[in-house]
Amino acid sequence: MNFSSWNFLRNLRTEKRQFAVIGLGRFGSAVCSTLHSSGYEVLAVDKEEKRITSALSEQIASHALQLDSTETSALREAGILEFDTVIVAVGSFLAESITTTLNLKEGGVANVIAKASSETHAKLLNKVGADMVVFPEQEMGQQLARQLTRPRLLDQFELDAEHSIVEMIVPDEFDGKTIAELELRRRYGLNLLAIKNEGDKMEINPLSNRKLYKGTMIVVVGSNQDINRLVG
């Protein structure tokens, strides 16, 4: 995820707690299920009856509708153009994805998040007004590659092309040393933002006399070059 995506998500209004997800493949179904289980009202949409039936039986959404999202009239009649946020999860079907995104933006939907299957697809989605474009398969592949080649690195949030915030495992050589003793900023060019304690509780801006222990997760920010030097 890059900084522009973070800005979009930071400004996303969720007071209405309503989302529509168009396309119930693996990605769309996962988005529906996660939003619904988190207490949000979710409308699941697909043109295939089988997927709608499955969504209802598995209770991954509050409501489910079968319709052709390339038809503006169908979107309007279903009330989807009244939603504040719509996720277009039909990334494998280029024309359907682009047409649906265009229909939603021209229909007045404030926030449209669209799944892309290629860089060309992403450019076209941006051209027709998508507010955020995601590459779930690419992002999962990148994360897996990082975990395989740099097992200390758990997750990475790209601020720009050269800087990131990362979740990483405390190296063995840091075990039992305080933040002050490690001198992360001077020696590695990194700033420690948080430590994850037992029960997944985050300790934000830990004190300099706080000791680190191997196997614990920490969150640091810095240049990718410095991060790679530490986790490589």
Mean pLDDT of 126-131: 95
Mean pLDDT of 224-232: 80
Name the percent of the chain lying above pLDDT 70. Answer: 84
pLDDT reading at 158 higher than 50: yes
- C-beta atoms surrounding 67 within 10 Å: 17
Domain regions of the chain by residue span: 3-135, 150-231
Q: What is the reported pLDDT for 232?
A: 61
Q: What is the reported pLDDT for 142?
A: 61
**CATH classification of 150-231 is 3.40.50.1820, yes or no?**
no
Map residue 183 onto helix, strand or coil: coil
CATH class entry, domain 3-135: alpha beta
Mean pLDDT, the chain, whole residue set: 85
Q: How far apart are CA 215 and CA 174, in angstroms?
A: 10
